């Protein structure tokens, strides 16, 4: 029976009731050892109703075994794997060891775990209980937490019990399990020991902090006279902070030996086998109070394992029986479980280090694979290459299954056991990569710094380490530092990385230098792209030729990173529409590649493409997805990119507070990290807001500041891409000279552009500066981007109306109004509407985009339905379950007044404007 936990039970009941109704979620039960977290999980399981329950307890000995917890949680529901999308199904099967091959990206695996839990939740819901989550292996924890953050529309409640302040990333709801209220603590004592004098009960509650475990254990060890208050309570109380140390010491030598084996390896068969052998070695009969087994090294030859029925096996079983009778541990299925984790701690503390090593040595002979590798490491005394190699092989297996956290831990331990400094450095470097892929950038940087110290002058290894340092800096640190680190390399790949970093900083001089160095390499797509950008920035006529040659190979490209280089090439040619097409291709490749870790970065450019095309809701959906993934991956600079894009979108929608907030948050990352590209976009957002609201002078001042910003604080691509806005702001502010200067710079940048949209934007700028109706007309004929066409139509309509030609103005203004309304660009829509009324038309407002009623997630799904994807294929791309996709579809249909996928696809296609944009801003 639970005492004094009504508030905690009520909070957990609320989580479960919401899950039962289709609004799932996760909650952390946090408290010190013995506070009653397990009892609360027991109570939840008992109150489940018709909901299914999956439950496991994490074991500290398995904390380094990749997917150990996930295997325990999902084993009862693996029969539902065939319902998953193929990439998710294969990832989960590989992780659980049910199929050969790799689990791939950790995001993909997390989505597979989510999908399998959703299948398990049908039809009545699911409660998933994980006790002692602080000891979950990293691979399992990552996958479960990925799922936990995406339970909002599922009938799933995930409860994670955690000791102390162990971090649980991304689960904001916490139920604190503290000491019992004084009255409840008194009732607990009374239920076990009868009515105690108030003074005794109060003192026990005070001295134990009302911890239920401490109350029970300590009160059980007091004498009747002490409990009755006839004798004073001992000082200190028996058991102290460890509670179980004295009880462990009271066990016989054989039972202590079994307890030590169980503290290292929970499997019942292994415990009995190893304990039997160790008892036989030391001739310790059950119940004997002989000295503990004397240690022997891990290389000592041992007799063959004692078979069933031998005296040794019998000794092990008898010792296990004694351990169970003591109440310290028990057999649960095929495992030996301690009554409480503190018992295991007490067993470890009571054992000599040599005893622990000997237990590991015996277990290493009885196990294989990852378990054997870790037991060998536990038995090792000093550095040992054979043990280090076994751990490195275990790391490779974990990495192949997607267990990057486990791989990092195994490689770091292997490095510590490696005698050769260079091999040690290589393993530390590999550990850093695994930690990075596992979303732990801080650990990755620490391991890489250690690898650099151990490299012992190995030039090739040091260069490899330098490249990784540069990539880490570019993703989450200083982009300027990334340039400095990467620029020392001479390989084309490293020069390309350095040029990419320089492009993020906005360091034109560095990009020129790196481009010239890249030009010395043999011809190829990457060489032409990197060299072409550098030479173009330097004014060398060979640059655009190289960029054209690189783009001519676009149909041969396969990787998302290559398409991003193609987008950059098109951008530096001044062709925003082609750049956006390349960014869109990069996004499609990244979603189906199985290596979704690169997806947050790719989505920076996809979101920009959608925004530039005027598909503001789609851009917002992509950036919100990218922002979530970037935060999970620890890609700080990508977080800034998505925040900056969201700031620009807020400006276009006229949402001043959101614009300011997103811009401020982006700048807080991008400025100290010297990511000039993202600083420029974040600064562009408030400038665009001023322009949208017709505050031309303020907009003009902000645009001039963007032009004046140097590397790390601004970016030439931002200056070029915002030139049409800058020209409009200068004209509106009455700065004719500033408008002409901006136009001349834009003409110079666009001199090599050949696409229709690039020429349309240039014509619009000329129309503004020269007040030329013909130039506006040329722009309207050339536009392939409906949103930019609407902006041109608004500018032309305003001039016609003010030139006393309202009849000609109305058609242009009406087109602009309708386009802006559908896009959700409210400030421009209001401006077009006001101009249209002034031109003599008071017609009804155009219907808002029907797709505007959809949430960002629903909009993403609708777009993929329009592309012809099935629910399983959509689930695979968006890291959802097929059931979740179907759930969203059945919410979409009534919102749009339709009833089928065919109607949805038709509706989306009709409203899908051609993609255009720069792909770089």
Indicate the DSSP class of residue 523. Answer: P
Q: What pLDDT score was predicted for residue 127?
A: 97
> What are the start-end ranges of the E strands in 145-220?
156-163, 174-176
Given a contact cutoff of 8 angstroms between Cβ atoms, the answer to whether 613 and 914 are in contact is yes
In three state form, how does the secondary structure of 286-314 look? Answer: CCCCCCCCCCCCCCCCCCCCCCCCCHHHH
> What are the start-end ranges of the E strands in 15-164?
25-31, 52-57, 126-131, 156-163
Nearest alpha carbon to residue 432 among 399, 460, 459, 400 = 399
CB atoms within 10 A of CB 150: 23
- Here the tokens at position 358 are 């000997």
Dist CA 415 CA 395 (whole Å)? 11
Q: What pLDDT score was predicted for residue 564?
A: 94
Dist CA 568 CA 314 (whole Å)? 73
- Here the tokens at position 219 are 């009160």
Q: Which long-range contacts (CB under 8 A, 24 or more apart) does 462-471 make?
A: 463/488, 463/489, 463/491, 463/494, 464/429, 465/425, 465/429, 466/494, 467/493, 467/494, 467/497, 468/429, 468/432, 468/433, 468/436, 469/445, 470/494, 470/497, 470/498, 470/501, 471/497
pTM > 0.85: no
Residue by residue, DSSP assigns 231-282 as SPPPSSPTTTTTSSHHHHHTS-HHHHHHHHHHHH--BHHHHHHHHHHHHHHH
Residue with token string 């915002």: 722
Q: What pLDDT score was predicted for residue 192?
A: 87
- Here the tokens at position 682 are 């974040």
- Cis omega before residue 467 (within 30°)? no
Helices 871-878, 576-592: inter-axial angle, 10-degree rounding: 100
Q: What pLDDT score was predicted for residue 867?
A: 83
Cβ-based neighbours of 737, under 8 Å, separated by 6 or more: none
Nearest alpha carbon to residue 782 among 921, 597, 576 = 576
Given a contact cutoff of 8 angstroms between Cβ atoms, the answer to whether 243 and 292 are in contact is no
Q: What pLDDT score was predicted for residue 308?
A: 40
Q: Chain-centre distance of CA 202, in angstroms? A: 48
Nearest alpha carbon to residue 132 among 157, 170, 166 = 166
Q: Chain-centre distance of CA 725, in angstroms? A: 35
Residues of the chain with pLDDT under 50: 241, 286-309, 913-921
In three state form, how does the secondary structure of 678-694 look? Answer: HHHHHHHHHHHHHHHCC
Dist CA 78 CA 154 (whole Å)? 19
Q: What pLDDT score was predicted for residue 599?
A: 86
Q: What pLDDT score was predicted for residue 402?
A: 80
Dist CA 695 CA 729 (whole Å)? 8
Given a contact cutoff of 8 angstroms between Cβ atoms, the answer to whether 275 and 258 are in contact is yes
Between CA 581 and CA 589, with CA 583 as vertex, the angle to 5 degrees is 105
What's the Rg (C-alpha) of the chain? 33
Q: What pLDDT score was predicted for residue 300?
A: 32
Helices 198-208, 182-193: inter-axial angle, 10-degree rounding: 110
């Amino acid at each position: 029976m639970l005492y004094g936990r009504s508030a905690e039970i009520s909070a957990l009941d609320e989580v479960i009731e919401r899950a039962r109704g289709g609004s799932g979620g996760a909650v952390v039960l946090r408290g010190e050892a013995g506070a009653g977290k397990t009892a609360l999980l027991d109570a939840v399981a008992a109150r489940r109703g018709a909901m299914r329950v999956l439950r496991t307890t994490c074991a500290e000995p398995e904390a380094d075994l990749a997917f150990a917890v996930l295997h325990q949680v999902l084993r009862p529901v693996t029969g539902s794997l065939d319902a998953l999308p193929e990439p998710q199904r294969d990832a989960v099967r590989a992780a659980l060891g049910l199929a050969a091959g790799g689990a791939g990206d950790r995001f993909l695996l997390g989505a597979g775990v989510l999908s399998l839990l959703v299948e398990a939740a049908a039809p009545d819901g699911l409660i998933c209980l994980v006790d002692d989550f602080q000891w979950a292996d990293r691979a399992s924890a990552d996958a479960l937490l990925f799922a936990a953050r995406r339970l909002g529309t599922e009938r799933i409640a995930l409860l994670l019990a955690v000791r102390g302040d162990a971090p649980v990333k991304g689960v904001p709801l916490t139920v604190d399990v503290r000491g019992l209220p004084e009255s409840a603590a008194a009732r607990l004592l009374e239920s076990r020991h009868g009515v105690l004098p108030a003074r005794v009960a109060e003192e026990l509650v005070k001295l134990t902090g009302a911890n239920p475990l401490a109350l029970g254990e300590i009160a059980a060890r007091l004498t009747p006279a002490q409990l009755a208050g006839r004798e004073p309570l001992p000082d200190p109380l028996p058991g102290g902070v460890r509670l179980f140390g004295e009880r462990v010491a009271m066990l016989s030598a054989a039972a202590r030996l079994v307890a030590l084996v169980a503290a290292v390896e929970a499997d019942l068969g292994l415990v009995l086998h190893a304990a039997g052998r160790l008892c036989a070695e030391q001739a310790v009969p059950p119940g004997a109070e002989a000295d503990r087994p004397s240690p022997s090294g891990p290389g000592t030859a041992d007799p063959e394992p004692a078979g069933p029925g031998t005296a040794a096996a019998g000794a092990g079983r008898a010792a296990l029986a004694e351990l169970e009778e003591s109440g310290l541990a028990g057999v649960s299925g095929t495992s030996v479980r301690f009554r409480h984790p503190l018992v295991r701690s007490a067993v470890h503390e009571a054992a000599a280090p040599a005893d622990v090593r000997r237990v590991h040595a015996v277990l290493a002979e009885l196990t294989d694979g990852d378990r054997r590798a870790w037991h060998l490491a536990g038995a090792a005394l000093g550095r040992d290459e054979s043990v280090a190699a076994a751990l490195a092989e275990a790391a490779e297996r974990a990495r192949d299954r997607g267990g990057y956290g486990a791989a990092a831990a195994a490689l770091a331990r292997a490095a510590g056991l490696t005698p050769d400094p260079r091999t040690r450095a290589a393993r530390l470097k590999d550990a850093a990569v695994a930690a990075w892929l596992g979303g732990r950038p801080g650990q990755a940087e620490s391991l890489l710094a250690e690898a650099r110290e151990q490299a012992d002058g190995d030039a090739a290894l040091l260069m490899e380490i330098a490249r990784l340092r540069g990539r880490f800096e570019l993703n989450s640190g200083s982009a300027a530092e990334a340039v400095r680190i990467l620029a020392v390399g001479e390989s084309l790949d490293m020069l390309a990385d350095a040029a990419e970093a320089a492009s993020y900083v906005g360091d034109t001089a560095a990009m020129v230098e790196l481009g010239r160095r890249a030009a010395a390499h043999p011809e190829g797509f990457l060489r032409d792209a990197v060299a072409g950008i550098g030479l173009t920035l330097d004014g060398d006529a060979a640059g655009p030729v190289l960029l054209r040659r690189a783009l001519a190979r676009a149909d041969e490209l396969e990787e998302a990173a290559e398409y991003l280089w193609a987008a950059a090439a098109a951008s530096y040619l001044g062709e925003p529409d082609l750049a956006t097409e390349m960014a869109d291709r990069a996004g499609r490749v990244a979603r189906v590649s199985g290596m979704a870790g690169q997806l947050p970065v790719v989505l920076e450019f996809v979101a920009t493409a959608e925004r530039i095309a005027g598909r503001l809701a789609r851009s917002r959906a992509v950036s919100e997805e990218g922002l979530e993934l970037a935060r999970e991956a620890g890609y700080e600079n990508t977080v800034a990119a998505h925040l900056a894009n969201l700031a620009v979108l807020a400006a276009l929608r006229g949402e001043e507070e959101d614009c300011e907030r997103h811009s401020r948050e982006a700048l807080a990352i991008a400025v100290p990290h010297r990511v000039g590209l993202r600083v420029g976009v974040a600064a562009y957002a408030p400038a665009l807001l001023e322009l949208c609201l017709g505050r031309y002078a303020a907009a003009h001042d902000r645009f001039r500041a963007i032009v004046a910003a140097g590397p790390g604080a601004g970016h030439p691509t931002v200056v070029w891409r915002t030139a049409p806005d800058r020209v409009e702001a200068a004209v509106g502010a009455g700065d004719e000279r500033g408008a002409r200067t901006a136009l001349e710079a834009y003409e110079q940048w666009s001199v090599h552009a050949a696409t229709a949209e690039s020429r349309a934007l240039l014509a619009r700028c000329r129309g503004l500066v020269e007040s030329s109706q013909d130039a506006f007309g040329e722009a309207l004929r050339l536009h392939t981007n409906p949103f930019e066409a609407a902006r041109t139509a608004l500018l032309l309509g305003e001039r016609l109306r003010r030139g006393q030609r309202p009849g000609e103005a109305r058609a242009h203004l009406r087109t602009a109004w309708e386009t802006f309304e559908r896009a959700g660009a409210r400030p421009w829509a209001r401006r077009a509407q006001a101009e249209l009324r002034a031109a003599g038309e008071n017609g009804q407002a155009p219907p808002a985009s029907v797709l505007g009623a959809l949430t960002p997630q629903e909009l993403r799904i609708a777009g993929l339905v329009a592309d012809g994807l099935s629910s399983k294929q959509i689930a695979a791309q968006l890291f959802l379950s097929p059931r979740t996709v179907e759930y969203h579809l059945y919410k979409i249909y009534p919102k749009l007044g339709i009833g089928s996928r065919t109607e949805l696809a038709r509706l989306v296609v009709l409203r899908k404007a051609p993609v255009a944009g720069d792909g770089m801003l």
